[in-house]
Structure 1
Amino acid sequence: MSIVTPKSLTQAEDEGRPRTFELPQLLQARTGKMTRELLLNPGDHGLGMTPESLQAETTTVAACGYCATGCGLRLHVRDGQAVGLTPETEYPVNLGMACPKGWEALEVLAADDRATYPLLRDADGEMKRVDWDTALTTFTERFKSIQSQHGNDSVAFLSTGQIPCEEMAFLGALAKFGMGMLHGDGNTRQCMATAVTAYKESFGFDSPPYTYDDFQQSDCMVFVGANPCIGHPIMWERVLRNPNSPEIIVLDPRRTETAMAATQHLQLRPKHDLAILYAITQHLIASDLIDHEYVAAHTTGFETLAEHVASFTPDVVGPAAGITADAIRRAAESIGQADAASLWWTMGVNQSYQGTRTAQAMINIALITGNIGRPGTGANSITGQCNAMGSRLWSNTTNLFGHHKFESAEDRERVARILDIDVDRIPDQGSWSYDRIVEGIRRDEIKGLWVIATNPAHSWIHQGDFKELLDKLDFLVVQDMYASTETAQHADLLLPAAGWGEKEGTFINSERRYGLLKKVRKAPGEALADFQIFRGIAAYWGVESMFADWTHPEAVFEKMQAASEGRPCDISGIQGYRQIDQSGGIQWPWTRQDAASNDVPPQQRRLFADGTFYHSDGNARLIVDAVAAMPEPPDSEYPILLMSGRGTVSQWHTQTRTSKSKVLRKLYPQRPYVEIHPTDASLIGVRNGDTVSVRSRRGEIFVTAMVTPTVQRNQAFIPMHYDVTNQLTLSHFDPHSRQPSYKDCAVAITKV
């Protein structure tokens, strides 16, 4: 693959910025080091582009910035600006395919509501434009004042899975080591915490074992709480390329697009997935469809597992779950008799009050049947956001930099040595989880909050409660590329940030592949890359010397490489951004030893081929638990169980970006809607297209009725993308991962 890479904007290209933009000069005055060129431009890192070549027409490939599929998009550049894009045919992820969001990735950068200059709320409550000096001075003075009055741990941050690894690393290091914050978590807590916890407990490390080639190698695929046809369409395209006529088994309460394409759809009652997976396990054991040699050599806990699932027979579980016992037995035998079976899950499992154990039930099935480490196998978490995996490794939230442990003195010493900082600056305890930070606001323990590239006033569970809590804060800073988000409306200070295509760094996709994000457009107005905002804050806070060599993203990538060496996520063998670019991305691990024996990293690599896991004894753990009752089941007052999830392929999360595209807006319903079964609709006198009230114990919304048999009786579904959905959802969490359970709450539906 021959790829030409346009680099960051030259100083000449920045001459069109407003004269009021004085931040570079202010920082130079403060530090004597940070020149305009260094602040605004990450610099040329050897990828071969010159200012002259930026004036010509050329193309370059960058990783998409929406979901964690991590597609390669070929950007068409003219006079230094990307003017169009097409899917990259040779990129090993998407092989020339792109979903509608990827096709429109450039369009959303030109939205009218981009944040283009800092905004500060005045004494009258109005947001007014200020210069960067005022913004960063206010940021520093207000947060330092809160910390001096209430302690360092009275200020927290909420980050994201939407910014590059290098920016996550900078944010975490700045907040934790520079500013003295103890608490910070990311919105990846809302999507991937369950998978992280499950992998760490079962495998000893957060380690999705698969590669996308496994979609085309399996002869049996099980999708639990996953609708990749809509949520991850390029992955589904890979399934459709499978030459093996695979058995496709879907466990889902709804008859989703993926379920319609399945050979077996187990349309269970909601939250019976764990029991069904235990029943499948029981039947595998009873039918002796077990790889006993693999279990004995590579796992711990089989006897406990067998004893635990013995009572979960298909005859017992099937009727309770709303499916037949024969359906469970058929699914189990399809898995057990397959040459290569793979099990896949996403938010339908992760966003559950028993999600960790449900994920581990799939891991157990893969392990006891020997379906791991081989082509077409694995217990495989499909990641949500474009860089949720990067957040998991580098954000300094739940794990110390590089998936070290805050509690380990040895790990703290190692990280301090690599980053050349005083070890006493590294906290010896981990952060509160997202929900605990929110509760800290309620208890007046958190007085200041810094929100970066996320929109919790829309996405956090029990939305009305959270919005009230935001207004309790003494100081709220929102750093975002759009000024119009629900969270930005509550901000005391808004810092305008560059978006995808306007900065550089690396993303890590679902299959552990580092891909490059490239700067091919100028950010509008005075907006800066988050990386440069963090540099500015470090200077104004007075810790610029701690980050003196954090001059550009690739310099931070080198620190990441050093921190990863010798760990499961080792990337010490990567030869810089250039090799990532030339290779079409590189999966971790890629060690110095790997590089010494192979100049070109293989494009498809999976973990655990040798049966060795990351626990000290090398074995994987088989983990089981009791099945928990639903926290808020339907009753006479609220007789319908409400589920939420992805709506269409053209929507993404809180629609902060997708709503900016005229094309995408034409591809999904503009008004929020609820899917209702025809019988339920008839009983309340509702026809398709009517307006209905959907009411829970937390709020009431008015939406359009979509009467459809794809949902079952006494169940309803609303896409998560609409701003009203989380007015209804219930605040309850998986006890192990602390991930919110968005998929179940009791509601009443009436005609308006």
Structure 2
Amino acid sequence: GSLAKFGMGMLHGDSNTRQCMASAVTAYEQAFGFDAPPYCYDDLEQSDVLFLIGSNLSIAHPILWSRIRKSRQLRRLVVVDPRRTETAMAADEHVALVPKSDLELFYGIARVLLERDWIDRAFIDAHTRDFDAFARHVRAFSLERVAARTGISPARIERLAEWIHAGERVSFWWTMGVNQSHQGVRTAQAIINVALMTGNIGRPGTGPNSITGQCNAMGSRLFSNTTSLLGGHKFTDYQHREKVARHLEIPLESIPTQPSWPYHRILEGIVRGEIKALWIVGTNPAHSWIHQVFFHDVVDRLEFLVVQDMYSTTETARLAHLFLPAAGWGEKEGTVINSERRVGRVRRVRKPPGEALADITIFQRIAEAWGCGRLFRYWRSPDAVFRLLASLTKGRPCDLTGITSYDQLGTAGGIQWPFPANATVQNRPPTTGRRLFEDGQFYHADGRARFVFDAPREPLEIRTERFPYRLLTGRGSAAQWHTQTRTAKSSVLRQMAPTAVYVEMHPEDAYREGLQPGQTVIVESARGRLRARLAVTPTVPRGSLFIPMHYSETNRLTHAAFDPVSHQPSYKDCAVRLRPLEPWDGM
């Protein structure tokens, strides 16, 4: 991002955050004043009541799941998910709500907490703003209204509120089931609001906690220099631009004064002819982007497509005019920042194969060839880059200036931000968890968190007589990962999950359609179709289908709907139909 924007004059660039975490990022920024997941992984073992919302944690995050399973503190595990997933099967309570009704559910829970006076008034008054307006807002969400929308009985909604009230250390954890939604930001903020109004934040075993799936989740959010300026700064803030320019010793005018378009608007810019070339680094949108047919049409319009990746065999790499072979994990040095804000060191254990180079080497050579190498004269090694960017965070919520050396990261087993160069933090060992908001101080100018809320929005695509089923997508197996760029190459992992596309359907729906388990079927949306083998299972709600996201065909079906605030795609809700395979389907 720094090479593209500071050196090559590009304005628009986006990161994988858009597909994975953008809704949580925006929710945190608006509520807390900064993108700041407040938790430590230790909180998974210190909660006595734990909610998992839109998260099949046992499959998607098996190591974190193991920490929950070994907890001696946990009294109640609640899973909120339309499907009876592997995680839901292990829960004390599975809340199988109607897909995309979680916003109403948490507004309904908030109303019960308010009416029963099960709130932490002292915390609300001392550390938050806009609670009274939120309280007026949720009064419209009666038990009857919420039950009708969610399919969850009034008694069960009251019971959920009662468990939150009875818990001493209640935590709420969510993943893509919340983020990848047409109203993901407001849903995440509804969860945050329930945590704030009950004082479940800043203490061990508490918090509204977004879990991300990638090892560098926070790293890309803070330092990709795409939608935000390096180190959590803003392109639109003159003082931020001036600080970054002075610190990096680059011309102030080389820093854009406006943020980038999000992913989908970049694609729209290609359609309008405003963008002629695209450089894709370490991601596979020809497989993973929503409404895949549209993406392929857009890429065909480019004059020049560059793909930089470990593998030349990805769906996206096969479309490239120029492929840049890049080193993978274990073949390069660097750092990552995970979802508990822990900075960790990555060490090289072998040389990259063939012509592959570390990403930093590719960027350095392009900078020299472009004629902007002098701007990056201090970016000579991963160690130098880390020290340069860490010093840039001074005074920011993500302050890393207390990390005195690159080697310290390795010996400490990673260090969480904030870790500023002051006595308060330095007196605590680096391995100690750094839970945010222990003092009740947030990152808004007045130090208070915000209650943010809005009216629920209807999905942009609803079921019809022609397309009567709702398609859900997500992780299918612990043996599959994202677009299977690497996992599909393992003969062991290939034996642990079906290699051919399958679709899950409720037994009553299959009976009504006259379909048999194992039958080959066609699943169609208004955008495309795929062939799949039918799996009949009661784990899928009636009226819904489920297809794992790992198959390259899945996003032929998905609808290009986006959260209006975060611009994150809503992968998990589109209208489809299902029918038997006919003889002419292969023609």
TM over 0.5: yes
| Paired amino acid for 2:294 | D
Find the aligned partners of 1:484 and 1:176 in 2 and give their Cα distance: 28
* SS of alignment partner, residue 379 of structure 1: strand
Shift of 1:690: 1.1
Residue 413 of structure 2 contacts residue 431 of structure 2 at CA under 8 Å; is this kept in 1?
A: no
Residue 40 of structure 2 contacts residue 434 of structure 2 at CA under 8 Å; is this kept in 1?
A: yes
Shift of 1:603: 2.8
Report what 1:75 is aligned to.
none
Shift of 1:575: 1.9
Q: Counterparts in 2 of 1:587-606, with a 5 A limit?
A: 587-594=416-423, 597-598=426-427, 600-606=429-435
* SS of alignment partner, residue 186 of structure 1: coil
Residue 129 of structure 2 contacts residue 449 of structure 2 at CA under 8 Å; is this kept in 1?
A: yes
Structure 2 residue 247 is matched with structure 1 residue 418: yes
Find the aligned partners of 2:278 and 2:149 in 1 and give their Cα distance: 45
Find the aligned partners of 2:166 and 2:115 in 1 and give their Cα distance: 14
Structure 2 residue 132 is matched with structure 1 residue 303: yes
* SS of alignment partner, residue 13 of structure 2: strand
Shift of 1:596: 7.3
Q: Which runs of 5+ in 1 are unaligned?
A: 1-171
Report what 1:746 is aligned to.
575
Q: Counterparts in 2 of 1:168-317, with a 5 A limit?
A: 172-317=1-146
Find the aligned partners of 2:166 and 2:216 in 1 and give their Cα distance: 36
* SS of alignment partner, residue 230 of structure 2: coil
Shift of 1:595: 7.6
Find the aligned partners of 1:358 and 1:559 in 2 and give their Cα distance: 37
Residue 180 of structure 2 contacts residue 572 of structure 2 at CA under 8 Å; is this kept in 1?
A: yes
Compared with structure 1, are the counterparts of its residues 596 and 608 closer, same or farther at alpha carbon in structure 2 (3 Å cutoff)?
closer
* SS of alignment partner, residue 248 of structure 1: strand
Find the aligned partners of 1:576 and 1:325 in 2 and give their Cα distance: 56
Find the aligned partners of 1:595 and 1:181 in 2 and give their Cα distance: 41
Report what 1:67 is aligned to.
none
- Of 304, 307, 310, the residue aligned with 1:478 is 307
Q: Which runs of 5+ in 2 are unaligned?
A: 582-587
Q: Counterparts in 2 of 1:332-481, with a 5 A limit?
A: 332-481=161-310
Shift of 1:187: 1.7
| Paired amino acid for 1:254 | R
- Of 358, 373, 378, the residue aligned with 1:529 is 358
| Paired amino acid for 1:734 | D
Q: Once superposed, what is the RMSD of the aligned Cα atoms? A: 1.0
| Paired amino acid for 1:471 | D
TM-score (norm 2): 0.98
Q: Counterparts in 2 of 1:30-69, with a 5 A limit?
A: none
Shift of 1:521: 1.1
Find the aligned partners of 1:328 and 1:684 in 2 and give their Cα distance: 33
Shift of 1:688: 1.4
Report what 1:119 is aligned to.
none
Residue 684 of structure 1 contacts residue 751 of structure 1 at CA under 8 Å; is this kept in 2?
A: no
| Paired amino acid for 1:207 | A
Residue 409 of structure 2 contacts residue 415 of structure 2 at CA under 8 Å; is this kept in 1?
A: yes
Shift of 1:257: 1.0
| Paired amino acid for 1:404 | H
| Paired amino acid for 2:403 | I
TM-score (norm 1): 0.77
Residue 52 of structure 2 contacts residue 172 of structure 2 at CA under 8 Å; is this kept in 1?
A: yes
Shift of 1:687: 1.5
**Deviations 1:634-665, CA, capped at 9 Å, x for gaps:** 11000000010111111111000111111111
Residue 402 of structure 2 contacts residue 426 of structure 2 at CA under 8 Å; is this kept in 1?
A: no
Please, which moves more after superposition, 306-315 or 741-750? 306-315
Find the aligned partners of 2:567 and 2:423 in 1 and give their Cα distance: 36
**Deviations 1:592-621, CA, capped at 9 Å, x for gaps:** 004874273143220000000000000000
Compared with structure 1, are the counterparts of its residues 700 and 619 closer, same or farther at alpha carbon in structure 2 (3 Å cutoff)?
same
Report what 1:695 is aligned to.
524
Residue 573 of structure 1 contacts residue 595 of structure 1 at CA under 8 Å; is this kept in 2?
A: no
Shift of 1:422: 0.7
| Paired amino acid for 1:590 | F
Point out the structure with max Rg over C-alpha: 1
Residue 418 of structure 2 contacts residue 434 of structure 2 at CA under 8 Å; is this kept in 1?
A: no
Residue 453 of structure 1 contacts residue 481 of structure 1 at CA under 8 Å; is this kept in 2?
A: yes
Structure 2 residue 565 is matched with structure 1 residue 736: yes
Residue 595 of structure 1 contacts residue 601 of structure 1 at CA under 8 Å; is this kept in 2?
A: no
- Of 638, 654, 659, the residue aligned with 2:483 is 654
Find the aligned partners of 2:405 and 2:58 in 1 and give their Cα distance: 35
Find the aligned partners of 1:639 and 1:721 in 2 and give their Cα distance: 24
Find the aligned partners of 1:448 and 1:490 in 2 and give their Cα distance: 13
Report what 1:676 is aligned to.
505
Residue 48 of structure 2 contacts residue 170 of structure 2 at CA under 8 Å; is this kept in 1?
A: yes
The percent of aligned pairs where both chains have the same amino acid is 56
